């Protein structure tokens, strides 16, 4: 909607944002008629009046229609339908963090045949150094207008990042209420490290707590409303850049917030400055800038790729894994899977005259993961069992069906294992050859407990880091990345690839035709090392996600025959 004012033969059309009493974001001036079935015009800087080259021009919320760019004189010609009226013409210059000038996106209304002038408002270079990011919760936060996205985010792990009880148990010992500080069981960061050390957990888990000193925030001291929301709306949408230094930890050399100062002073408008993946957002309550980075996996790398800043030992490597993946080769980004498009058209805002957008411009903000809705079966398992003479040959193929990253991936405490068990008439068979489950599969309790699989036939899938706690004492493994000095092993399965293994077992003396052979193969995924889970008491508690999952469980039952027991073994290693 706009107001028209006629002065002689010149007509000025004022955008809706000014009608609502807010900052003038664009000025539309109608000059002489042009040829039919197009809208032409010039885009200029609202302050210098200089033409702007490379501005993206298209009809708002219609990615299926033509997009044109302004030339060196700021001119454009946009094809439209004959007789079209009140066409919402969007103008956006891709944001460049190193550019000399950046602009707010704007949308103006024009009719077919008009020649128009669009003024883009520059984003001020003055920063509001006193600003603290707002929380997303309504009525004062983003959820008031973006209720659908906010409701989805509330169900996400991002929303719980600052109050994750497992992280809190490891950090300060008080996440599950089983004791604070030295009285807590097992590893407690604050008790085993120097008092000034923060561990950098809050840098990613609570980035809004103190943007001016993100590395100085202790995870157990997060207290602000925005900080306690974890990875909230402005945690992403007020990032203006993520550079290529993916080894750095989030806001400590990799990503930057930007808080432009309000023209009127104070914080009243700074929270409205946001960056995002749409190049046609214009609303009186927002000062939106188009940042193509938001459609790139590099945005996610800021928290999902980093190394120990002192030793270089890898923490998370999900971004690097994606870079070499089939998904990356096919042009799929992290957002393709973890922010899937909506089922149908709709708006991205619940109030105002928000345009109806197609499904591919509306994305889920619940950030589903492999085990929270993205893939019902991230892993495939094929097993071949062959009896021969006095042995059993078991061949396994574990397929990583995830195309975008290794399995498992993410933080270094995640792990998985293949466990192979064979028996005849209930009597366990002795393993003759093949790998065994690594020692990290057990707890720290004396003796063998149910769930301790170390030493059994199988394979381990994990990234194992080695180091000293606080840089002191003996070398230990596995350790958290903050204590890691080197990577001891990485046996996770690359995206789209298959891990093949072979195991042989001895049949007991006296095995006869008619005896029952049973081979059980399981793939078990754990969100944390078993020793930590048992020591902390997590195995007996229910959280948002279980600490352990049985991903695959297959049992092969077979009655042995005389032919099986007389069969010769041909040692061939084809899979």
> Under DSSP, is residue 295 helix (H, G, I), strand (E, B) or coil?
helix
> pLDDT digits over 301-331, tens only?
999 999 999 999 999 999 999 999 999 999 9
Q: What's the mean pLDDT when you consider all of the chain?
A: 91
DSSP string over 507-540: PPTT--TTPEEEEEEEEEEESS-HHHHHHHTGGG
CB under 8 A, 24+ apart: contacts of 167-175: 167/201, 167/205, 167/219, 168/219, 168/220, 169/536, 169/538, 170/480, 170/532, 170/536, 171/199, 171/201, 171/219, 171/220, 172/219, 172/220, 174/220
Listed by start position, the domains of the chain span 3-120, 142-259+291-368, 375-566
Instruction: Report pLDDT for 567.
Output: 80
In the prediction, which pLDDT does 388 show? 87
Report the C-alpha gap between 92 and 237 in whole angstroms. Answer: 17
Which pLDDT tens digit goes with each residue over 164-204?
999 999 999 998 876 665 568 899 999 999 999 999 999 99
Looking at the predicted structure, is the pLDDT value of residue 7 above 60?
no
Fold topology of 375-566: Immunoglobulin-like (2.60.40)
**118-162 per-position pLDDT tens digit:** 999 999 999 999 999 999 999 999 999 999 999 999 999 999 999
Pairing of strands 430-433, 391-400: unpaired
The percent of residues above 70 in pLDDT, for the chain, comes to 90
Neighbours of 574 (CB within 10 A): 4
* Between residues 347 and 8, the one the model is more confident about: 347
State the Cα–Cα distance between residues 110 and 81, nearest whole angstrom.
12
pLDDT of residue 263: 64
Q: C-alpha 487: how far from its chain's center?
A: 23
Q: What is the pLDDT of residue 284?
A: 83
Q: Which two tokens stand for residue 21?
A: 């009493």
pLDDT in tens, 498-557: 999 999 999 999 999 999 999 999 999 999 999 999 999 999 888 878 999 999 999 999
Query: 3-120 has which CATH code?
Result: 2.60.40.1120
pLDDT band at 283 (very low <50, low <70, confident <90, very high): confident
Contact 106, 116 (CB under 8 A): no
CA dist., res. 282 & res. 233, Å (int): 18
Instruction: Please give the share of the chain, as a percent, with pLDDT higher than 90.
Output: 83
For residue 367, which phi and psi values (nearest 5 degrees)? 45, 60
CA distance 57 to 108: 11
The neighbour count for residue 418, using CB atoms within 10 Å, is: 27
416 near 381, Cβ under 8 Å? no
- Spatial separation of the C-alpha atoms in residues 26 and 113, rounded to whole Å: 20
> Tokens in use for 572?
């061939």
User: Which pLDDT band holds residue 36 (cuts at 50, 70, 90)?
Assistant: low
CB 501 within 8 A of CB 433: no
Helix, strand, or coil (residue 216): helix
Q: Write out pLDDT tens, residues 381-420.
A: 999 999 988 899 999 999 999 999 999 999 999 999 999 9
pLDDT at 264 over 70: no
Q: Degrees (nearest 5) of the Cα angle 302, 199, 524?
A: 75
């Amino acid at each position: 909607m706009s107001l028209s004012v006629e002065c002689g033969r010149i007509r000025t059309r004022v955008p809706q944002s000014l009608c609502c009493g807010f900052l003038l974001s664009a000025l539309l001036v109608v000059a002489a008629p042009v040829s039919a079935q197009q809208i032409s015009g010039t885009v200029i800087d609202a302050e210098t009046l200089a033409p702007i080259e490379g501005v993206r021009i298209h009809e708002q919320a219609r990615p299926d229609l033509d997009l044109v760019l302004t030339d060196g004189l700021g001119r454009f010609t946009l094809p439209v339908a004959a007789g079209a009226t009140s066409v919402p013409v969007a103008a956006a210059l891709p944001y460049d963090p190193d550019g000399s000038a950046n602009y707010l996106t704007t949308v103006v209304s024009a009719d077919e045949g008009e020649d128009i002038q669009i003024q883009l408002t520059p984003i001020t270079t003055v920063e509001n150094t006193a600003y603290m990011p707002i929380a997303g919760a309504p009525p004062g936060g983003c959820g008031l207008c973006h209720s659908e996205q906010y409701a989805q985010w509330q169900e996400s792990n991002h929303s719980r990042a600052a109050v994750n009880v497992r992280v809190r148990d490891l950090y300060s010992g008080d996440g599950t209420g089983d004791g604070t500080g030295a009285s807590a069981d097992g590893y407690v960061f604050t008790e085993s490290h120097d008092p000034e050390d923060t561990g950098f957990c809050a840098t990613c888990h609570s980035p809004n707590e103190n943007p001016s000193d993100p590395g100085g925030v202790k995870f157990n001291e997060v207290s602000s409303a925005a900080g306690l929301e974890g990875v909230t709306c402005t945690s992403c949408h007020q990032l203006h850049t993520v550079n290529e230094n993916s080894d750095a930890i989030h806001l400590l050399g990799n990503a930057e917030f930007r808080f432009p100062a309000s023209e009127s002073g104070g914080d009243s408008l700074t929270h409205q400055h946001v960056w995002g993946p749409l190049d046609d957002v214009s609303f009186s309550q927002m000062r939106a800038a188009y940042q193509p980075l938001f459609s790139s996996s590099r945005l996610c790398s800021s928290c999902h790729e980093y190394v120990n800043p002192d030793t270089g030992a890898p923490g998370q490597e999900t971004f690097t894994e994606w870079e070499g993946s089939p998904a990356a080769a096919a042009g799929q980004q992290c957002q393709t899977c973890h922010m899937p498009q909506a089922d149908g058209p709709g708006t991205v805002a619940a109030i105002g005259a928000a345009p109806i957008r197609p499904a591919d411009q509306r994305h889920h903000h619940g950030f589903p993961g492999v085990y929270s809705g993205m893939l019902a079966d991230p892993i495939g398992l094929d097993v071949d069992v062959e009896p021969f003479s006095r042995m059993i040959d078991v061949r396994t193929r574990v397929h990583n069906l995830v195309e975008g990253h290794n399995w498992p991936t993410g933080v270094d405490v995640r792990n998985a294992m293949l466990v192979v068990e064979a028996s005849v008439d209930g009597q366990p068979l002795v393993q003759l050859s093949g790998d065994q489950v690594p020692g990290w599969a057990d707890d720290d309790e004396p003796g063998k407990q149910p769930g301790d699989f170390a030493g059994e036939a199988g394979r381990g899938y994990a990234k194992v880091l080695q180091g000293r706690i606080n840089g002191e004492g003996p070398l230990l493994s596995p350790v958290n990345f903050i204590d890691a000095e080197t990577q001891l092993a990485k046996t996770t399965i690359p995206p789209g690839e298959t891990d093949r293994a072979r195991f042989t077992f001895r049949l007991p003396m006296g095995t006869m035709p008619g005896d029952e052979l049973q081979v059980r193969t399981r793939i078990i995924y754990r969100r944390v090392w078993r020793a930590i889970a048992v020591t902390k008491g997590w195995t007996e508690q229910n959280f948002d996600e279980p600490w352990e999952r049985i991903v695959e469980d297959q049992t092969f039952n077979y009655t042995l025959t005389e032919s099986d027991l007389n069969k010769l073994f041909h040692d061939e290693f084809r899979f």
